[in-house]
Amino acid sequence: MSKLSTLKMYMRRPERLQQPTDLYSHRVTLIDGGELDLADWRGRPALIVNTASKCGFTPQYEGLQRLYERYHEAGLELLGCPSGDFADQEYEDDAEIGSFCQRNYGVQFPLSARTSVRDHPDPLWADLTSQPGSAPPKWNFTKYLVGGDGRLIEHWGSTVAPEGPKITGAIERVLSGEEPDGV
Q: CB neighbours of 139 closer than 8 A, spacing ≥ 6?
A: 55, 57, 86, 157, 158
* Rounded distance between C-alpha atoms, residue 96 and residue 43, angstroms: 33
Catalytic residue status for 101: no
Give the amino acid at 101.
C
Q: Across-strand partners of 30?
A: 112
Catalytic residue among 9, 17, 30, 55: 55
DSSP assignment of 153-183 equals EEEE-TTS-TTSHHHHHHHHHHHTTPPP---
Residues identified as active-site = 55
